[in-house]
Amino acid sequence: MPSRRNVLLAGGGLLVAAGTTTAQSAQAAEPGQSQITTRNPLIEQRADPFITRPVNGMYYMTGSVPEYDRIVVRGAPTIDGLASARERTIWRRPSSGKMGGHIWAPELHRIDGRWYVYFAAGDSDDVFRIRTYVLESIADDPRTDSWVLRGQMITKWDTFTLDSTTFEHRGRRYFAWAQSEPGIATNSNLYIAEMASPLAIKGDPVRLAVPTLPWEIQGFKVNEGPAVIIRNGRVFMTYSASATDARYCMGLLTADEQSDLLDARSWTKSPQPIFTTNENTRQYGPGHNSFTVAEDGKTDVLVYHARDYRDISGDPLYDPNRHTRVQRLYWNDDGTPSFGVPVGKGGPALRFSPLNAPNLYVRHYEYRLRVDGDVRELADSQFRIVPGFRDPGRIALQSVNFPDRYVRVVDPMTIRVDPYDESDVYGKAASFVQVPGLADSKATSFRLTTDPAAYLGHDNGRFVVVRPSGSQRDRQRVSFWIR
């Protein structure tokens, strides 16, 4: 029997049954549903990650390199393909003078048939004299040697400026960024302006957010790294706050999509952070995110960086191990985004929805499994399919937010996520056979190892062991969409 260590080192992504992987298993999902079938982390030592939506069938990715000396771009037809894609340096800082200092947080945007990179740069004699600059390319492929430096993005004040992004909404293009404003005792605030062109803003900037809440001022008073996603009648702007160590976290601003985005009163700041360090998954300082979509063109994907450890020697800014990570972004019933927790190393984090109750999800509450709707604690409903503990061809269901716990049958009416132990009793009770859904072969069912006629199933909100009869209702009770 494999040890817990070996199971976890397997990456959490392998399905032993039939020699498949979760990437293949995820195809057994409800039509129209998509899995984020990628590894975590996706790319090591790439902070401030930005992944485009597909352009001519290609994803492109850029981010900060640990040396802070250049801008790189890689491309692939899939998100997962970015992990092994060859990286090209498209611009390198000069050896001295202006822009010869730290190069931070590039973003890559396709606007009116041209590529633009917005990035922050310091000077060689003052690496923290950070300002925002822009590169332009007329090439179809941003990895080519066709970039031209177009100069500095000018704002109202000649002060510390970084983390610029751009988005279009209702026929207008906007620029959002972080900047230190004279007269305000913070490191950086969030601003927005309309763009006159991809190279310039018009009008005065509008201040959207100032770090004032306790979780925004840990170490430094920071609001930075804005990223925008427009869904469900609202404009959502995520941002990052506090120092770049384990205290780094993400907040959220929200505006009605019909409102004037240049009116600060249109925006509401969420009082609590929406994405933070998680000790159980051992993910520290998640932040500086962007958004993309999965290969189906509609499933939203959260892109961010985080470390695998809390303790850092020296200035966290120079610790190289902020890795690029991706995970699916879900949506609550009220239309707001549901971020969950930064998931740990391994394969895709999955949710299971009953075939005959597609708006409900299998989740654990106080470690006991049940079936609920509108699960606000998203991570309670996320699992990984990993190698089983007993015979070949078995799988186990690992809790995402308590990765030392696995789904275990205690008795026919009690199924829990319990800490792993190496006993034969535990191994049998926590191992299952994954088979095509009994009610629909595109779904999936989990058969007990100890009883080939019994399956994991649901009954009026309870998650129980079911011995299905020949009825369609019984077969549906033990069949689940993977989402």
For 23-69, what is each residue's pLDDT tens digit?
A: 333 334 443 345 676 778 999 999 999 999 999 999 999 999 999 99
Q: Number of folded domains in the chain?
A: 2
Phi first, then psi: give them for residue 168, nearest 5 degrees: -110, 140
Q: Output the pLDDT for position 391.
A: 83
The reply to whether 343 falls in a domain is no
Do 295 and 404 belong to one domain? no
Boundary-marking domain end, from 338, 368, 386 = 338
Q: Output the pLDDT for position 32.
A: 38
CATH of the domain at 368: 2.80.10.50
What CA–CA distance (Å, rounded) separates 389 from 343? 22
Do 236 and 375 belong to one domain? no
Boundary-marking domain end, from 338, 373, 389 = 338
Q: Count other Cβ atoms within 10 Å, centred on residue 86.
A: 8
Phi first, then psi: give them for residue 326, nearest 5 degrees: -135, 145
Boundary-marking domain end, from 307, 338, 369 = 338
Enter the tokens of residue 343: 């998931």
Do 75 and 126 belong to one domain? yes
107 tagged catalytic:
no
Q: Output the pLDDT for position 445.
A: 98
Pick the catalytic residue: 224, 245, 295, 380? 224
Do 298 and 385 belong to one domain? no
**Could you say which residues of the chain have pLDDT below 70?**
1-35, 37
Do 120 and 218 belong to one domain? yes
Q: Output the pLDDT for position 390.
A: 79
Do 174 and 282 belong to one domain? yes
Q: Output the pLDDT for position 35.
A: 61
Do 319 and 396 belong to one domain? no
What CA–CA distance (Å, rounded) separates 323 from 331? 25
Do 274 and 375 belong to one domain? no
The reply to whether 24 falls in a domain is no
Do 297 and 258 belong to one domain? yes
The reply to whether 14 falls in a domain is no
Do 62 and 164 belong to one domain? yes
CATH of the domain at 257: 2.115.10.20
Do 357 and 239 belong to one domain? no
Q: Output the pLDDT for position 16.
A: 30
**Neighbour-count burial of 340, counting CB atoms closer than 10 A to its CB (0-12 exposed, 13-18 middle, 19+ buried):** buried
User: What is the reported pTM?
Assistant: 0.92
Pick the catalytic residue: 48, 107, 123, 181? 48
The reply to whether 19 falls in a domain is no
The reply to whether 32 falls in a domain is no
224 tagged catalytic:
yes
pLDDT digits (tens, 9 = 90+) for 313-358: 999 999 999 999 999 999 999 999 999 999 999 888 999 999 999 9
Host domain of residue 465: 352-482
Do 325 and 370 belong to one domain? no
